[in-house]
């Protein structure tokens, strides 16, 4: 697949056009940011870990009935994906209280939740990705009702599949963020990435944090932890 010009550069990935207008190449970087870009750094080989891990998980989710943008991994850092229009929503699922949920509602990190929480943030860096609800999304026409219903449905399905996947690998899936896009036919596809950047994963035995919180909170062993998560994902 011939690689053409760069379409976009984000905080963690670059996106390139290809000879096929329906296909793009995503290239994962080692750049790390946190707190809406205020903290910046590099995590050696993070791009490799996130690319490979995302593709393994997208493959499993696809088999479980969640359509994804994945076409084919091209190299350690590059993957061919379907072109989509990303819905400007961060779809967050929480199984256990942590991060901004713990702060906002005053609950200790690690507290169990009486039910799974689905929450949305409006993807808008200038506004700091504010929390948003279903009514806001429809009032602002960020998605249609049918798209929203499908996104909710897929998000819970992704959670069920991933919880079991990580449980079998000695990891607790605390929370995660996913993004969806719409392809040229109007089909909703799971897009972006699933990685230690976008999931909170705690060791099932020790509760050690095995995700981007090691970078956010300066906990050390950042590179080693990303590599260890990939090793467990590979099984
Ligand atoms: N998350 C993400 N990108 C964001 C915000 C959150 O991938 O821009 C992930 C984060 O890694 C965690 C989950 O979504 O797994 C919930 O994050 P939270 O709202 O607690 O925000 P944080 O504490 O990460 O700022």
Tens-place pLDDT, residues 77-109: 999 999 999 999 999 999 999 999 999 999 999
CA-nearest residue, atom 10 of ligand 1: 198
Answer whether 22's CB lies under 8 Å from 83's CB: yes
pTM greater than the 0.75 cutoff: yes
Fold adopted by 3-82: Phosphorylase Kinase; domain 1 (3.30.200)
Ligand 1: residues with CB < 6 A are 90, 92, 98-101, 129, 175-177, 197-200, 212
pLDDT confidence band for 1 (50 / 70 / 90): confident
Please indicate whether the domains covering 3-82 and 85-221 agree at the CATH topology level: no
Torsion, CA 55, CA 26, CA 151, CA 156, rounded to 10:
30
User: How many percent of the chain have pLDDT more than 70?
Assistant: 100
Average pLDDT, the chain: 98
Q: In CATH, which of 3.40.50.300, 3.30.470.20, 3.50.50.60, 3.40.50.740 is domain 85-221?
A: 3.30.470.20
Residue to mutate, 177, 211, 217, 226, ligand 1, most ligand atoms under 8 Å from C-beta: 177
The answer to whether residue 174 scores a pLDDT higher than 90 is yes
pLDDT tens digits along 11-44:
999 999 999 999 999 999 999 999 989 999 999 9
Look at residues 60, 78, 58, 76 and name the one whose alpha carbon lies nearest to residue 68.
Answer: 58
Sequence-distant (6+) residues with CB within 8 A of 42 are 30, 31, 32
Q: pLDDT tens digits for 201-229? A: 999 999 999 999 999 999 999 999 999 99
pLDDT tier for residue 170 given thresholds of 50, 70 and 90: very high
| Residue 204: strand, helix, or coil | coil
pLDDT of residue 223: 98
Alpha carbon separation from 155 to 6, 65, 95, 113, 118 (Å, rounded): 30, 12, 12, 17, 8
Ligand 1 centroid to residue 130 C-alpha, Å: 12
Q: What is the mean pLDDT of residues 52-61?
A: 98
Q: Measured in angstroms, how far is the CA atom of residue 189 from the centroid of ligand 1?
A: 21
Ligand 1 nearest-atom number relative to CA 211:
11
Closest Cα to atom 24 of ligand 1: 99
Quote the DSSP letter at residue 127: G
Residue 9 has pLDDT above 90, yes or no: yes
pLDDT in tens, 224-234: 999 999 999 99
Domain boundaries of the chain, sorted by first residue: 3-82, 85-221
d(CA 95, CA 133): 19
Is residue 178 scored above 80 in pLDDT? yes
């Amino acid at each position: 697949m011939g690689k053409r010009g760069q379409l976009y550069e984000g905080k963690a990935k670059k996106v390139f056009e290809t000879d096929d207008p329906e296909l793009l190449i995503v290239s994962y970087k080692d750049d790390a940011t946190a707190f809406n870009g205020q903290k910046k750094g590099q995590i050696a080989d993070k791009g490799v870990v996130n690319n490979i891990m995302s593709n393994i998980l997208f493959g499993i989710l696809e088999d479980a009935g969640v359509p994804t943008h994945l076409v084919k991994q091209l190299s350690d850092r590059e993957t061919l994906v379907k072109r989509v229009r990303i819905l400007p929503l961060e779809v967050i699922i929480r199984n256990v209280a942590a991060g901004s949920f713990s702060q906002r509602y005053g609950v200790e990190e690690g507290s169990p939740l009486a039910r799974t929480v689905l929450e949305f943030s409006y993807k808008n860096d200038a506004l700091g990705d504010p929390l948003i609800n279903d009514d806001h999304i429809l009032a602002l026409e960020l998605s249609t009702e049918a798209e929203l219903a499908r996104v909710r449905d897929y998000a819970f399905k992704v959670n069920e599949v991933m919880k079991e996947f990580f449980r079998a690998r000695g990891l607790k899936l605390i929370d995660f963020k996913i993004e969806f896009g719409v392809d040229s036919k109007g089909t909703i596809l799971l897009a972006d990435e699933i990685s230690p950047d976008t999931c909170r994963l705690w060791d099932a035995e020790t509760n050690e944090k095995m995700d981007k919180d090691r970078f956010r909170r300066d906990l050390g062993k950042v590179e080693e932890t990303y590599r260890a998560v990939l090793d467990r994902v590979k099984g």
